[in-house]
Chains A and B, each alone.
Chain A
Amino acid sequence: MKVAWVTHQLPDGSTDHGPGLLKGLYAGGAEMSTAEMIAAAPEGVEVVTFRPEAGLPNAEVFDRVVVGATERLTGEQVQRLIEIRPILWVRSIQHSALAPLFHAARTVVWPSHGCAAWHKWAPDGYKICPAPLDTTLIPRDTPKEDFALWAARNHPQKGRVNARLWAWERDIPLVELTDAPRETVLEHMGRARWFVHLPKGVFDPCPRSVIEAEIAGCEIVTNNLVGRVPVDGPEAVAAFVEGSAERFWKVVCDD
C-alpha cells in the first residue's frame, strides 16, 4: 500500500527552531509524533511525505492520503483534498473554516475525546489515536517524593505560572524543567508525586508529557484545557499508547 502523508510537521534539518520551541531535530511534539507514527507503518506500507509548500501529491498514484497538519494548506489545496477525501490525523486545534474538509474526510482521527469535543463543528463520528509512545524508558514503581513537577516548553500557553500558583496555594515545592533532556524529565517524573500541566489560553489536545507522567505514577493535575487518553491508571494508559500506531495503521489500511 502506498500512502501519501501531507504535513509541514517534518524535520527541516536545523536544530535550533527558535524561541519557545525544542532544540534538536524536532521543533515540537507534533514533529516527533509524526516521525514516530510514520516509522511505525506496518510492513508493506510505503509512506511518502509531502510538505504543503511543495505541493500536494497526485492522489491517483497513492492508495491513501493522510493529512497530518492543516495549518500550511492553501485554500486551493483544501478544496483539492475535499475531493480526495483523506484520512485526517490532526493533533492541534483546527479552524472551523476547515469544516468542509473534515466532513468530507474518509476518517477523522483525533488524539483525544477532549480534542474532538472542542471542535463542535466537526463530524460526530471519529476515531481516537494519540501519538505512539515508547514507554520502555518511563520509570515505574519509583518511590514518590513530595514535590510537584512542571515540564514543558517555556511558552506562556504551557501554564508555567499556573503551575507555580497551584503549588504556592498548597505549599508544595515545584520543580520546573524546560529544554531538559527527556531522560532528566522522565527521572523527575519517576520521583514526583504530582505532575502539573495547567495550560492557559489554548486547548492542549493530548500532551505527551501528561501521558508519560501518568505512566510514571504521578497524580496528574490538569484543567479543562487538556485532552486525556480515554483510560485511567499507569498500566492502562501505557497499553493504550503502546497500541496507538497499530490502531492508527489499521484505520488507514482497513478504511
Chain B
Amino acid sequence: MRPAIQIWSNFPLAPTGYGQQTRVLADWLTAEGFEVSISSNYGVQAAVQPYATASGKVIPQYPMGYDGYSQDVIVSHANHWAEQTGRPTVLLTLFDTWVLKNDRLAELPAIVSWVPIDHTPIPPAVARWCGQPNVTPVAMAEFGKKQLDNAGIQSVFIPHTVSEEFSRRPGGGELMGFSDDQFVVMMNAANKGSTPTRKAWSENFLALSMFMAKHEDVVAYIHTEARCPAGIDLTMLAKAAGIPKGRLVFPDQYAYRIGMFSNEMLAKMYSRANVMLAVSLGEGFGIPTVEAQACGCRVIGANATATPELVSKDSWLVDGQPEWDPAQLSFWFRPHIHPMVNALEEAYQAKRGQSPQAISKAEQYREKHWLPKWGELLEKVL
C-alpha cells in the first residue's frame, strides 16, 4: 500500500527556503497521486487550513503547536493524518533535526528526514536522530551525505531544487533602484539568529565596506529584514562597518514582511546583480546560491560545508578557519574578511554579464532531475 505523507516544515507559502521546498514537494507528490498533508512548524496557527497545490488539489495544513518547534503536536498530527487517510503515514521532516525531541516520534512507522548538516563533523544530536531505527535521512548536499557516511549512517542524497522561474530576466535594476553603470553586490539571506549569526553578517558587511572604499560605483542590495526580533539590527551593523549611507539598501520592509517578493522578482534582481555575496558560517544547502546562478550571477561563498559543491568554477570560494559551536558540539566555519574583499575585487575586475558556467551549474539542480527520486524513495521506507 502506498503510504500517505505528512511534511513537517514551514508552511508552503512562507518566504523561506524550507517553505519553498515544502511547496515544491507537496505540489509534486500530490500530482503523483500521494495523499499529502503539511504539518506546519511555522506560518499556520489556530486551525487546519487548506492549501491549494499547483495541480489544484487542496490538501490540509496542520497548525503549529505551542512549543517553539511544535513538538507538542508533531506526533498527534501525523497520527491524525494516518487515521484520515487509512494509510500508514510517512512523516517527512524538512528542518533541523536536533529540535525533534518528542520521544513518541519513535512510535511512528517511518520518518524521512531531509536533513541540513552545516557543521563538520555531523553534530552529535543530528547523528543520534539520523541513527534512529525508524528514520531514513536524506542528505540535501553531498557534503551532508559525507558527514553521515563518516558517522556510519546510511542515507540517500537528494538536493534542494530550483524552479524554472529562476532564469535570466530583465528589470532587476529598477526593482533594486540601481542604474546600469553601478556594480551591484547582492545578498539574499534570512536575518535569523543572533548568537551566532550563521549568515556571517559582520564579515560580509566589513568586506563590503572595505571593497566599497575602493570603488565609488559599488552598491549592495541586501534582500532580508533589516531589523528582526529573531535576528540582529543590520542597519546598525552597516553603520558600524563604515558602509557609506545610501550605498547599501534593503527591500521595502513591509513588502518583504508579507511575502510580496515573487520568484520572478527575485530572478530579475539576481539577473541584474554583478555578484551574489553568500558567505556564511555553514550551509546545509544554500538555495539562493543556486537561484542566483540559474540567473547567470556568479557567487562568492565559503569554502566549507555545502557551498563548494554548489558553485560554478568561475565563482569564488573564500577561506577561513574552524570555529567551535558549543551548542551543536561541532565546528562552524569562520570566514576571513580579506579573502572576501579579494573575491569581491576579482568579481569587480572580471568580465561583466551572465555566466554560462553559473547557469550550467544551476541546471543540475532543476526540479525535473530530482523530484522523481522522492517518489521512488517514499515507496521504499515502509
Contact = CB atoms under 8 A, between A and B. Distances in A.
B154 interface: yes
A125 to B, nearest CB: 28
Given A156-B133, A201-B132, A162 B154 contact: yes
Q: Size range of the interface on A?
A: 10 to 19
Interface in A186-216: 198, 200-202
B90 to A, nearest CB: 11
Interface string A39-75: 0000000000000000000000000000000000000
Contacts of A157: 133
* Interface of B: prevailing SS: loop
A198 B132 contact: no
Contacts of A166: 154
Nearest to B109: A156
A225 B152 contact: yes
A198 B133 contact: no
Contacts of A224: 152
B152 A223 contact: yes
A168 interface: yes
A161 B381 contact: yes
Interface residues of B, number: 14
Contact of A161 (B136, B152, B376): B136
Interface string A142-183: 000000000000011101011011101100000000000000
A201 B136 CA distance: 11
Contacts of A168: 376, 380
Interface string B136-167: 10000000000000001011100000000000
Given A161-B110, A161-B381, A165-B380, A156 B134 contact: yes
Contacts of A225: 152
Contact of A201 (B133, B155, B376, B380): B133
A161 B132 contact: no
A161 B3 CA distance: 14
A155 B271 CA distance: 51
Nearest to A164: B380
Interface in B334-382: 376, 380-381
B320 interface: no
B154 A198 contact: yes
B131 A201 contact: yes
Contacts of B136: 161, 165
Contacts of A201: 131-133
Given A156-B134, A157-B133, A165 B152 contact: no
Nearest to B380: A164
Interface of A: 155-157, 159, 161-162, 164-166, 168-169, 198, 200-202, 223-225
14 contacts: A156-B133, A156-B134, A159-B154, A161-B110, A161-B136, A161-B381, A165-B156, A165-B380, A168-B376, A169-B156, A200-B135, A200-B154, A202-B133, A224-B152
Interface of B: 110, 131-136, 152, 154-156, 376, 380-381
Given A162-B154, A165-B136, A223-B152, 13 more contacts: A156-B134, A157-B133, A159-B154, A161-B136, A161-B380, A165-B155, A165-B380, A166-B154, A200-B131, A200-B132, A200-B133, A201-B133, A224-B152
